[in-house]
Chains A and B, each alone.
Chain A
Amino acid sequence: MESNKKYWKGLEEFNKTSDFVENNKNEFAEPLPIEDVLNEAGLSTVTPRRDFLKALGFGLGAVTLAACQPAPIHKSIPYLVKPEEVIPGIPNYYVSSYNGQSVLVKTREGRPIKIEPNPNAGLFNCGTDAQAQASVLDLYDVSKLKAPVLKNDETTWTKVDAFVTAELAKAKASGKKIRIVSSSVYSPSTKSVVADFTAAYPSTKHIQYDAVSYTGIIKANENSFGKAVVPKYNFDKADLIVSFAADFLGTWISGEEFTAQYVSNRNNKSLAKGKMSRHFQFEAGMSLTGTNADTRVPIKLSEQGPALITLYNAITGGNLAGGSLPKNATAEKALKLVAKELTQQKGKALVVCGSNDVSTQILVNAINSAIGSYGTTIDLDNPNKRYAGNDAEFAEFLNEMNRGEVAAVFFLDSNPAYDVTNVKSFTDGLSKVPLKVSFSDRKDETSTLCDVIAINQNYLESWGDANSYEGSYSIIQPTINPVFNSRQAEQSLLIWSNAPVKDYYQYVRNNWEKNILPALGKNWNELLQTGVFASAPKAAGSYSFKLSLDAVAPSVLKSSAALAKDIELQVYESIAMRDGSHANNAFLQELPDPVSKVTWDNYIALAPKFAESQGLKEFDVVDVKGSNGYTISLPVLIQPGQAVGTASIALGYGRAKAGKAGDNVGKNAYPFASFSNGTLQYATTITISKTGSTYELAQTQTHHSFEGRNIIREASFKEYVKNPFAGTGKHEEGHKTYDLWDKYEKPGNNWVMAIDLNACTGCGSCIVACNVENNIPVVGRDEVRRRREMHWIRIDRYYSFEEGDKSVSEEKEIAHLENLDRVTVVHQPMLCQHCDHAPCETVCPVLATTHSSDGLNHMAYNRCVGTRYCANNCPYKVRRFNWFNYWNDSRFDNYLNNEFTQLVLNPDVTTRSRGVMEKCSMCIQRIQAGKLTAKMEKRPLKDGDIKMACQQACSANAIIFGDGNDPESEVSKALRSERVYYVLEEINTQPGVGYMTKIRNTDSLPTVQA
């Protein structure tokens, strides 16, 4: 049974705006100026024959002269003494870790060029997120300082050390407070360094705070169970997941790990076993997790508290006051259903909440205890160590500074001048501190206010370690010598505290050999090889919630009620920018938001009908005024699925001093957050007023049109169980097909790919991985607006709408929809399909794109003359044209236009020149390298020898690549699945990339008979 549900790329298509219709006709945003030439003036323009000949003669002469230069001399400079392990042309891999993810760093001739997940990582055996993939670019950031700074001048370390130790001596003598302010530290060695420093200067206190805080969860667990920790969540053990605004597949606590766990119950393997978890999401703004939910119910921020109480009452039969949602019947109905299912799934369910409010989290603990989550889906005995921030301590630190009690302050991995809620209180206080030291690597918002910038090293230049979970450790080891005259922050602290061991490498090693390795029974060299050690996890104890909720529920209701006025605003971490600390990373800036597909900006997201009622259109610039008076102007983005009466603004934008790429991109939303009830709250109320101007956001989604063809195939889990072919459009008797083209023989390998739409969450880390691997240029906001982004793989997001129990199948029905709340989203990674009957190949006049005997569609850049016929003829719209020499053009100054940043380029992939077409090559450099290794070792190629960059990065294993001629390969098995369909297979392009239908675990997917 085929669904004829309609999918829309966005509201532009949905509403058929005139711009969209106009743009849709053309392959490229700006048509050729043919009409200018053909209009009357153009035709009557006379170029005198003499002028023509003059120009011709001059051109010929100039070209000849230019060509007369002697051939350029290329120098070849060998090592003086070659390091034994380096062979030019062969990559070396080193284990390290980034943000708690264990990674392999690929280096070529001593420079790190790519981050890959560590296959030995065990517990953390998942992919890497977009930040980790992009982090290699941070190393080659030209905006970094090249030497330490003392009182605004670059200086030497000796002078810095002399100054700081003298000032510290004064501080110690005065007996005043010394503060080390950092984001959460989960490195055992760094903690030990801080302890040593504290021993040398006893008035020191280490204050940890996170720009996006989890203090609420920590305090709640301390209150409920006496354990001040962020627990370990096991989404893989949960058959039913209920999330209240927790974006656990994206930014919440540990997105990549949760993605791997979550998908393990929903991917093809799990479905083949007839098992699929169920996921409800209640939230205001449309999050990545919300787009993946089986059922997503929009609720206002002020309704979250009452919703939780309703759920609690329904599960436990309790009768806490306030447990009703009078204005949201849908949500109330859904909550009843959820409560029923939760009680049925005891011990196999999990409720999470994204709130940072202690009372709210206590309520969630009570619910989880009631459904038996502790010991199964929540593990309090092997807690997550990555977040230890304490908002109250930081707030007290601000008071201490303002009272003039602080003599010295050190900022490590923190930038309060940017991300505190009350910047003025911070800067006023800071000006009263005699010694201010920042370990930032650049002149950022905080470090410019400091006396000393003791520039820290990038993690790729550093020694270090991480303890992400109880009993599980990973190492950070340097992969390149420090590029600038930088010094690790820990080493600086050791020197200033005059510790006996001042070399940080020795310090880390001593710490491991003394405190960590003996317990694990391993040695240092093994550690440097594997990167990760974990002791056997403790048995997860079962905890039950015994406290009274009498005080908790009113507190929850009170903070909810406070939000019920004007427009309710939530500020959230965006998938690309997160907390904004990597704002100068151009890869991340150009990574489209998974839902809105906006790059290079933040915006205020409003629901379509709500915006209409406010008289606002998309891209209208509005002044957003918070309840605390903070005002910024932002463009409006119409976001289907946003709860009516609410707005969302992403954090991490509006950096004033991030560097060339990140300065003044978007607006800073941190000041909308507030400190109340002992923690930071990310919800507030705002009023908005129209400014009258408009601002076009650089969105990627609507850039390519499929002309309404049926490219998403979807089925409900019930239908799938009944008939695994559900939704694929396959019929029992095959169609008779006719080919215009000859069949391609693929005698050796046949490289194909399978993409599981049920595993793909749309997070976008594959996009960044592909960018880094294939030297894909960053084009900047203006070029994205002109539809000229270069990404070889994109993730298309499709909306579909429901009304009652019917999905909308006719465009004209849209106008009658009450609101556009009931939206479902499908993410579809789209890349070159390597068609056997490729439409692009047929139209290339110079045979620059041809078919290979192993099933790939080759693209020879040096042969391409740039007619762009291929892009025009590609039904998948995956071909990208180089409009500029992005790596050598001053207009694209935020990325590769300097020799230093160019060190990040992959030497095995050509940088493309202006005027040529490019597209996904199926990482042909990796295929060739994998084949060569096998040839050299005289063995057959094994399945899994070759991995695509996108496939490697994917935590969800949504992308499988391999040899279709090998019936035993993973990809062949995957492509034999009943769920497989090929996009636009009806036009007989015979793609090499197969997709598996999206399955939703809803009761039934409403369909309309054709």
Chain B
Amino acid sequence: MRNISLIIRRVWKSAFMFTALSVLIVSGTQAQDPVEGRKIFKEKCTSCHALDRDLIGPALQKIVPTKSEAFLLRWINNAPAFIASGDKEAVEASKFNPNADMTAFPSLTPEQIKSILAYVKVGEPKKAEVAGAAKGSDEVSNFSIVGVIAVILISIIVLVILARAIKMLERLILKKQGVEIEEDEEKASMVAGIGQLFKNKKFVFFVILCLVISLGSFGWMGMWNTGVATGYQPTQPIKFSHELHAGVNQIDCQYCHAGAFESKNATIPSLNVCMNCHKQVQARDSHDGNISPEIQKIYNALGYDADKMTYDKSKEKPIEWVRVHNLQDFAYFNHSQHVVVAADAIRKEKGLKPNEPVCFACHGPVNTMEEIYQYSPLTMKWCINCHKDTKLEVKDNAFYTKIIEAHEKIKKGEKITPAALGGIECGKCHY
């Protein structure tokens, strides 16, 4: 169900984005294009500026209307040079933040700067629409469930009606042939028939056999899946979206999970990593100018005051994430072994596309997961199958040279898998 609702939600979201953007495009009849401006703004300006509040630089919607376009063009194009030229207004403007000068953007054409200014004037698309859209998408997912149930109910009713109709017709045909049917008799005979049926040893045996087989296979499947937590998706203290970060924003897995490439632990990023971006990125646009409550949770954990931009150590409180992938204590797994040493082999084996990180091999399409869930079963069978099937890609790794040579002497021509080099021996993971 989650997959379906995810898909529907995604379809809705992209549809909404498309409409919102086309509205912007349509409204942008001026020469300067606020859509283009928004894009450049997001790329180049957000690290120091916000539209409606002071960051490192001043709030643009307040400051821009007070300046002439000519001034702004020169200022944005190359502020340091402008200040150095001794222009009074420029020197005055540089006093907003004595610690940081406005960066020069000589690569921006005047048209592009004008686009930015146009975007600053128009501002973000209205919040009401966003809220409405979000609500809509929720309704849709509810609707889809109700709809499916309704369809099933209707089809059952249709079936029942059809069955009645067939019976009526049969009876009519029988009547026509002159066979008399007594309603009461029919009922009695049915009860008796059922009684008779249960006296039939073959039938009873058959029913019991069916029961045993179905219960047995149900139990068997249940046992096999005991402790297997594929799809485990606990509620996390922060609604962190991998879809947004890894998918939309294309942030590399390593940026946050740096340990995966060096250590056995992939590591959950410490909050200073979050703050690299979220000191600026506060998603105020989508929360009526307030900081997103989820981002606020990061600030709370660190004791960070977003307005004063100060940290209060006494208010620190670590975030308790819920572990999604729980490998047993007695099984040793090392991330770096797999994502550094064996990356090529795993990519080939799992058929990953060149733009997909090797992590997807086991963690699934993380870039589409709104909330993270366990994609692979993490059973020993699953580990071993991969170790048996994957062909090693170790041509440029001098570690393997001797070992492969020795191996080739004994088992010439056989596929070299981790298993062939002892990768499925108990002690390699259990110690």
Contacts and interface: CB of A to CB of B under 8 A. Distances in A.
A74 B403 CA distance: 39
B259 A910 contact: no
B67 interface: no
A934 B403 CA distance: 13
B421 A748 contact: yes
A863 interface: yes
A521 interface: no
Contacts of A88: 259, 263, 265, 267
Contact of B398 (A748, A925, A938): A938
A850 interface: yes
Interface stretch (A209-217, A401-409, A528-536, A853-861): A853-861
Interface stretch (B3-11, B82-90, B318-326): B318-326
A88 B265 CA distance: 6
Contacts of A925: 332, 431
A654 B201 CA distance: 82
Contact of A852 (B268, B272, B402, B428): B428
Contacts of B407: 747-748
Nearest to A87: B263
Given A81-B270, A90-B263, A852 B336 contact: no
B337 interface: yes
A940 B259 CA distance: 24
Given A75-B320, A850-B425, A90 B262 contact: yes
Contacts of A745: 410
A862 B322 CA distance: 25
A4 interface: no
Contact of A910 (B273, B410, B430): B430
B316 interface: yes
Interface string B379-413: 00000000000000000111111110011011000
**Which of A88, A861, A911, A934 is packed against the most chain B CB atoms within 10 Å?**
A88
Nearest to B263: A89
B271 interface: yes
B47 interface: no
Contact of A936 (B336, B403, B410): B336
B229 interface: yes
B144 to A, nearest CB: 28
A946 to B, nearest CB: 13
B427 A940 contact: no
Contact of B399 (A856, A858, A934, A965): A934
A861 B430 CA distance: 7
B231 interface: no
Contact of B427 (A81, A852, A911, A932): A852
Contacts of B210: none
Nearest to B324: A76
Given A82-B270, A856-B427, A910-B330, A936 B340 contact: yes
Contacts of A749: 403
A941 interface: yes
B259 A89 contact: yes
A107 to B, nearest CB: 14
Contacts of A932: 334, 336-337, 341
A80 interface: yes
Nearest to B313: A80
Nearest to A81: B272
Given A78-B321, A936-B336, A921 B234 contact: no
A863 B400 CA distance: 30
A907 to B, nearest CB: 9
Given A80-B270, A924-B431, A87 B410 contact: no
Interface residues of A, number: 49
A707 B328 CA distance: 41
A79 B430 CA distance: 28
B223 to A, nearest CB: 12
A88 B421 CA distance: 28
A77 B321 contact: yes
A590 B50 CA distance: 66
Interface string A755-792: 00000000000000000000000000000000000000
A249 to B, nearest CB: 34
A731 interface: no
B269 interface: yes
Q: Report the interface size class on chain B.
A: 35 or more
B320 to A, nearest CB: 5
A935 interface: yes
B136 interface: no
A88 B322 CA distance: 17
Contacts of B258: 87
A908 B258 CA distance: 20
Interface in A53-105: 71, 73-82, 87-90
B396 A938 contact: yes
B270 A78 contact: yes
B65 interface: no
A277 to B, nearest CB: 40
B268 A76 contact: yes
A748 B426 contact: no
A79 to B, nearest CB: 4
B43 interface: no
Given A88-B263, A853-B422, A862 B410 contact: no
A71 B334 CA distance: 24
Nearest to B317: A80
Contacts of B265: 87-89
Nearest to A912: B330
Interface in B270-288: 270-273
Contacts of A75: 320-323
Of B302, B326, B407, B430, chain A has the most CB atoms within 10 Å of the CB of: B430
A938 B273 CA distance: 30
B329 interface: yes
B53 interface: no
B268 A860 contact: no
Contacts of A74: 322-323, 326
A852 B423 CA distance: 10
Contact of A78 (B227, B319, B330, B340): B319
Interface string A839-861: 00000000010101110101111
Contact of B318 (A77, A87, A856, A859): A77
Contacts of A90: 262-263
A514 interface: no
Contacts of A965: 406
B239 interface: no
A168 B212 CA distance: 88
A860 to B, nearest CB: 4
B171 to A, nearest CB: 51
Nearest to B226: A67
Contacts of B431: 858, 908-910, 921, 924-925, 928
Contacts of A931: 399
B319 A862 contact: no
Contacts of A908: 332, 431
B269 A747 contact: no
B423 to A, nearest CB: 10
Contacts of A78: 267-271, 318-319, 321
B178 to A, nearest CB: 61
A18 B263 CA distance: 56
Given A82-B273, A863-B426, A932-B337, 6 more contacts: A74-B322, A75-B322, A76-B320, A79-B270, A79-B318, A859-B426
9 contacts: A75-B323, A80-B271, A748-B403, A852-B427, A853-B422, A860-B430, A908-B431, A910-B430, A936-B336
Interface of A: 71, 73-82, 87-90, 745, 747-749, 848, 850, 852-854, 856, 858-863, 908-911, 921, 924-925, 928, 931-932, 934-936, 938-941, 965
Query: Lowest 9 A-B CB distances belong to which pairs?
Result: A858-B427, A89-B263, A82-B270, A89-B265, A747-B406, A860-B426, A79-B270, A853-B422, A74-B323
